[in-house]
Every structure is written in C-alpha cells, then in structure tokens.
Structure 1
Amino acid sequence: MSVFGTPSLPPHSELFQFVRKGDERGSLVALQGHDNVPFGIQRAYYLTDTKPGVSRGFHAHHQLKQLAVCVSGRCRMLMDDGVTRTEHWLDAADKGIYIPPMVWHEMHDFSVDCVLLVLADSYYDENDYIRDYAHFKALVQKF
C-alpha cells in the first residue's frame, strides 16, 4: 500500500529515493524542480537529525527568497536585516517564516524531532551567499 492509502501506484508513476547528505551536524535532503522532482519548483530542501547544541544558517543571500517551515518539531529563527534583530519560534507545521533577500538568518535550538523544510525561488548558487556578518553589515549600510 502506498503512503497515501491507495493500493498501488497509478500507471506511469514513480517512487523517488532522494539523496541524503550529512556530516556531524546532521542531514540535508535537497529537492529541485525538473531535477529530482518532476514539476516546476525551483528548490526545496529540509534539515533533519540536527545534533543537540548545533546551530545552522549564519548567512544571508543577495537575491534568494525563501520560506521556512518546521514540518516536525521546532527551532528558533534569528532574523537580522542589518538594523533590527528578531527571534521567532517555528514550532508548528502550519507556521512559516519568509526570508527575503539581504536578511541574515540563523537557526538555533533544534528539537530532536525537528524537520525544517525550506522552499526557495531559485536554484542553489554559492555566489548568492553572504557568509561573513561584517561583510553583510557593510552591504546593508550602502542602502
């Protein structure tokens, strides 16, 4: 029986096994439209198995727009636009947080069962990342 309760898959359907990457911090599964997902999302990924006491993020993006949702468990999001820093708990599957370009973000205090899903408006591009906070602050000051 399939996950959705139907006795078998419809004709021409496929089961997908996504690649799990990880290290001592935990695991990440990336989903990209027209790559390993057969429809037009640009990118989706989720964080899982984050080790106790480990934080993630610590970057901003020049152009990328994202929406983060804890589909299981909870984590604390720190958002910083270069002027104001705020913290928000993502602690329910029906709560999400929009992360616009040029907002420094960090994820802290992951629960053991946390699965953090992130949807993005474009594909992964290392050149879009700002990984140094001082550089981020200098860029924000220009506006």
Structure 2
Amino acid sequence: MGKDGDPSVGDCKILHVPKVEDRRGSLSFVENGSTLPFDVARVFHIYDIPGGKSRGQHAHRECHEFLIAASGSFRVHLDDTRQTRTVELRRPDYGLHLRPGIWAGEKDFSSGVVCLVLTSHPYDEKDYIRDYAKYKKIIKQ
C-alpha cells in the first residue's frame, strides 16, 4: 500500500495543537513543517451534520489527514483489516493524524459540531478507496 510499510491503526496518533491563552481567549494554530508530519495542501470543514448520520467510510491511497473537533465532539472509527480502534475528538487543541491506508469513519457527532480537516494532498477522487471489500484486497497486496 504505502512506502512506509503496512498501515496500522496504531500509527494514527492524537497530536497536540499549540494553544496560546490570554485574557481574551485561546488561539490554536497549525504550521507547515512543525505541527504536523506533513505539509498542508487543503483545508475543509464539515458541519450541519444531521443527527444519527456518519461521514467518511473510506481510506486514502496517499493522502494524510488531520481531523480536529473545532467545535463539539465526534468519534472516529479506525480499521486496518487486522485491528480496529475508536478515538473521540472533543477539544480544539488536539487532533487525529490519519495515515494513508487506514479505513476511517466519523460518527456520533454532537449537536453543532464542526470538524476541521487538513490534508496533505488536494482533492483527487482517484486517491479514495470507498468500497470496504476493495480496500481489504488492496491492503493485503
């Protein structure tokens, strides 16, 4: 799958986002070359998610993602075909780094949630693996 060896849910790490606090409030930031293990090529956010709905349910061939609960909370279910793991994101000064080759889906969104996503690559539909059966075959190669 990737140059770095077989992807593993254990490779998906919670990373602290620097936080600056003062009497006016808090500010968190991400900078290329220091905060993340990749340079950011694209930023988008997910919001207005209807109750009970999930998002994601795919893997990427090359793209890294970094997910932050900018407001509210949600869970991320991770799967590498050998093991699974669920991570809850609920603070804007922490995020989850998703490596390529990991099947991920977001669920259990709180009311008013905003999920901020930073990626290593621009959008490219060819990078997505959206069928789990196909994903399992690709991972076993």
Q: Offset at 1:82?
A: 1.9
Distance (whole Å) between structure 2 residues aligned to residue 126 and residue 72 of structure 1: 28
List aligned pairs for 1:7-86, cutoff 5 A: 41-86=40-85
| Root mean square deviation of aligned Cα | 1.1
Q: Offset at 1:141?
A: 1.0
Q: Which runs of 5+ in 1 are unaligned?
A: 1-39
User: What is residue 92 of structure 2 aligned with on the other side?
Assistant: 93
Distance (whole Å) between structure 1 residues aligned to residue 63 and residue 110 of structure 2: 26
User: What is residue 17 of structure 2 aligned with on the other side?
Assistant: none
User: What is residue 34 of structure 2 aligned with on the other side?
Assistant: none
Show structure 1 runs of 4+ deviating over 6 A.
none
What letter is aligned with 2:56?
A: G
Q: Which runs of 5+ in 2 are unaligned?
A: 1-38
Q: Offset at 1:94?
A: 1.2
Distance (whole Å) between structure 2 residues aligned to residue 56 and residue 131 of structure 1: 12
Q: How many residues align?
A: 103
Distance (whole Å) between structure 1 residues aligned to residue 97 and residue 40 of structure 2: 16
* Cα deviation digits, residues 18-68 of structure 1 (max 9, x gap): xxxxxxxxxxxxxxxxxxxxxx94100000110000001010000000100
Higher relative contact order (CA 8 A, sep 6+): 2
Q: Offset at 1:69?
A: 0.3
Distance (whole Å) between structure 2 residues aligned to residue 84 and residue 121 of structure 1: 25
Distance (whole Å) between structure 2 residues aligned to residue 41 and residue 137 of structure 1: 28
User: What is residue 6 of structure 1 aligned with on the other side?
Assistant: none
Q: TM-score, normalised by structure 1?
A: 0.70
Distance (whole Å) between structure 1 residues aligned to residue 47 and residue 132 of structure 2: 25
For the pair shown, the structure with the greater C-alpha radius of gyration is 1
**Percent identity at matched positions?**
36
What letter is aligned with 2:121?
A: S
User: What is residue 35 of structure 1 aligned with on the other side?
Assistant: none
